[in-house]
Structure 1
Amino acid sequence: MLINEILKKERESKNLTQSELSELSGISKRSISHWESGNRMPHFDSIEPVLAVLGLKIEIVRK
């Protein structure tokens, strides 16, 4: 599953609109829309507040 699919699925599972997620995270609705549509990839520092609202975290695993 790609990051855009995860973001949308998790947002919808919490019954949040993109506008609500934007207000809670402090990240623009436009950025969230771009990320969910797959038009843009989020930078780590800008996605952290969104992940926190959604109760998610990124784990980097070295192989």
Structure 2
Amino acid sequence: MANMSTPASDVPSALRENLSRFRELRNLTQSELGKRAGFAAASISHFETGQRVPSVESLVKLADALEVSVDALIGRQPAEAGSHVDPIFLRASRASAEKLDAVRRVTAALLGEDIKR
């Protein structure tokens, strides 16, 4: 199997691209991601444009907020590794128990399956 990791010299560009891509996949604004990770929207903008490079601690916060690994965020995993989950499922997973139950019922009806809890 080929090595899919990003060379260290390419990490800043991979980080910029992945940060923006993962944020957009989750339908988050820079401000929303900033709130989740504990940063101002301007900081997220600076990270995405390469004006600033986040510290290791900041990378962990960003990865946690985006629900991806740090490796996926900096490009040390294949591009698909952190993006295979449809954003609608991410939003559904954060829904209230009542809404999540409704999602399960609709999914079961669409798939013609009995989904047990």
Shorter chain as normaliser: what TM range? 0.7 to 0.9
Q: Is the 8 A contact 1:19 1:29 kept in 2?
A: yes
Structure 2 length-normalised TM: 0.47
The alignment of Structure 1 onto Structure 2 pairs a total of residues equal to 60
The answer on whether the counterparts of 2:59 and 2:70 sit within 8 Å (CA) in structure 1 is no
Give the greater-gyration-radius structure (CA).
Answer: 2
**TM-score when normalising by structure 1:** 0.82
- Cα distance, 1:56 vs. partner? 1.4
Shift of 1:28: 1.8
Percent identity over the alignment is 37
Superposed CA deviations along residues 20-61 of structure 1, whole A, max 9, x for unmatched, are 1111111221111101011111111112111101111224x8
Tell me by how many angstroms 1:15 deviates: 0.2
Corresponding residue number in structure 2 for 1:3: 15
Matched residue, 2:28: 16
Which segments of 5 or more consecutive residues in structure 2 lack a partner in the other structure?
A: 1-12, 77-117
Considering only aligned residues, what root-mean-square deviation do their CA atoms show, in Å? 1.7
CA distance in structure 2 between the partners assigned to 1:27 and 1:50 by the alignment? 9
- Structure number with greater CO (CA < 8 Å, separation at least 6) is 1
Q: Distance in 2 between matches of 1:23 and 1:31?
A: 11
User: Are the equivalent residues in 1 in contact too, given 2:17–2:48 (CA < 8 A)?
Assistant: yes
How many angstroms apart in 2 are the aligned matches of 1:17 and 1:24?
11
